[in-house]
Structure 1
Amino acid sequence: MKLFTIGFTKTTAEGFFARLSRANVRKLVDVRLNNVSQLAGFAKKDDLKFFAKSICHIDYEHFPALAPTQDILDEYKKSKGAWQIYAEKFLSLMAQRKIENLDKDALDGGCLLCSEDKPHHCHRRLVAEYLKDKWHDVEIIHL
């Protein structure tokens, strides 16, 4: 199984959708808590759904179960918390939510979307790695 990840900041719409197309992504899986963000004009949920279908011929789905809670996010972003503490809390949240019970086929070939341009300090990487640990046969590809 392949699981892609992508961020939308520090890129153009052209570059973003070209990466999705080249990778043959099957579905854009939005893992943001707030998918109406103003960070990128093309990344608001309704626009993103339209562009994904029109440009890449792929579906879009918001998976809030794969997003941190507002409390966890605020502690890290607004209070400038430590990445390690954020990661530990989010990993614990995913375990509590039992995200490994999600439909594996629905995520196969999907691309986890978040705002961070790189996956290093982004929860989409934590989601992908958590699922790989639980499902074992996951190849993670960061676009």
Structure 2
Amino acid sequence: MVQIFTIGFTKTSAEHFFGRLKDSQSRKLVDVRLNNVSQLAGFAKRDDLRFFTKSLCNMEYSHVPKLAPTKSMLDAYKSKKVDWATYERQFLDLMISRQIEKIKPAELDGCCLLCSEDTPHFCHRRVVAEYLNREWGNVEIIHL
């Protein structure tokens, strides 16, 4: 069985975020955001995350933009030009075209997918995890 965690960083404190991450015992934080250096990200900017995940959680950090939507897709959703169902379908098509299922399950086993949304319900990290479960089978998804 492959175990994939997911986490978002908005509407939470750094203490709560890193506490949940550490308690999960994930081995790596996998950043699936398109833009991981925005000043709006607060403690969740790329270089800060690399430092904090290693120092506080003893885990690695990597940015995998292959698991992120395109800028045009994200902009259309954020500006409400498309609804969630349309965005999710477009993102599923993108994952299929990128063949993300060819990532070896061992590469993501025990990893935590990071995005900004506070809950997984309307976040692409959930869509990634569920797509991989459909393609690989036997994936336990744990939303932190």
Q: CA deviation at 1:39?
A: 3.0
Matches within 5 A, 1:60-139: 60-139=61-140
Counterpart code for 2:67:
L
Aligned equivalents of 2:69, 2:13: Cα separation in 1: 26
Report the counterpart of residue 57 of structure 1 in structure 2. 58
Q: CA deviation at 1:80?
A: 4.5
Taking only aligned residues, the RMSD between alpha carbons, in angstroms, comes to 0.9
On the 8 A contact 1:3/1:141 being kept in 2, the answer is yes
On the 8 A contact 1:9/1:39 being kept in 2, the answer is no
Aligned equivalents of 1:60, 1:81: Cα separation in 2: 32
Query: Any gaps of 5 or more consecutive residues in structure 1?
Result: none
TM-score normalized with structure 2 length: 0.96
Query: Any gaps of 5 or more consecutive residues in structure 2?
Result: none
Report the counterpart of residue 39 of structure 1 in structure 2. 40
Counterpart code for 1:75:
A
Q: How many residues align?
A: 143
What secondary structure is seen at the aligned counterpart in 2 of 1:33? coil
What secondary structure is seen at the aligned counterpart in 2 of 1:133? helix
TM-score normalized with structure 1 length: 0.97
Tell me which stretches of 4 or more aligned residues in structure 1 moved more than 4 Å.
none
